[in-house]
Amino acid sequence: MTPAVELSGVTKVFRLCHGRPNSLKSLALSFRRLKCEELLALDDVSFSVKPGETVAVIGRNGSGKSTLLRLLGNVFKPTRGKVVVRGRVSSQLELGAGFHPEMTGMENIYLNGTILGLRTKEIRERIDDILAFSELDKFIDAPLKSYSNGMVLRLGFAVAVQVDPDVLLLDEVIAVGDEAFQEKCYLKIEELQKAGKTIIFVSHDLQAVHKAASRAIWLSGGKVMADGAVDQALSAYLASIPH
């Protein structure tokens, strides 16, 4: 079976410069004083994900989880190595990603759907399902800047799961809103799983990992420390946390 996702020797290095000047004059005066350093976010990461798998990526803050998702979502390019993702990718990688605060909720649905590769006709066909899932129909003509963070997450999640993705990427948003809405999110995840969709999500919520994932990958310092059954990966991860 051809993998839905493949990473081969993937390394991602960010170059961070401190004391960056804010004008041309200060640039000329401080050019030689600008100090830069390299941050190794991912270090020789290799794994593959079969179609239909649901994989949770776990680890402490700064371990490389979000960087990994952004590489899969083609937001970043690897410094070294190869990333292959097959099929239509849908993602919600951070609060408000792909949305514009001055545009209405409805306008943002069309904007985000276009970014995800849908034609206008396809977005129009999904509008009712997006509104029903997000439960935001009363606010859909209000500008996004008037939404709470929870409302933005709900709208983003609704768009991401209603575009019929082959691969769904989620960063800390697998369950948003109140308990009833969280259960709706889990039911949608189950529906996508039954349809054979590939799901990769980052979460600090270990209950969510247990509930939704069939496999877990533990990252630490940009390296894969464990990759396998959820219980085994979680046990290894929890044992590494100082008490």
pTM exceeds 0.85 for this model: yes
Domain ranges, ordered by start, for the chain: 52-73+85-239
Tens of pLDDT, residues 140-175: 999 999 999 889 988 988 998 988 899 999 988 665
| Span 52-73+85-239 CATH architecture | 3-Layer(aba) Sandwich (3.40)
Q: What is the DSSP letter of 96?
A: T
Contact partners, residue 236, CB within 8 Å, separation at least 6: 218, 225, 226
Q: Kindly give the pairing relationship between strand 167-171 and strand 35-49.
A: unpaired
Say how far apart CA 91 and CA 160 lie, in whole Å: 6
Rounded-to-integer distance, Cα 70 and Cα 61, Å: 15
d(CA 153, CA 51) in angstroms, rounded, equals 26
Distance CA 125, CA 219 (A): 39
Tell me: the pLDDT tens digits for 198-213? Answer: 999 999 889 889 999 9
d(CA 14, CA 174): 27
176 pLDDT above the threshold of 90 = no
Q: Are 56 and 201 in contact (CB under 8 A)?
A: yes
- Average pLDDT in the chain: 89
**pLDDT tens digits for range 42-76:** 999 999 999 999 999 999 999 999 999 999 999 99
Strand partners, 82: 8
Instruction: Please report the pLDDT score of residue 175 as a whole number.
Output: 59
pLDDT at 185 over 70: yes
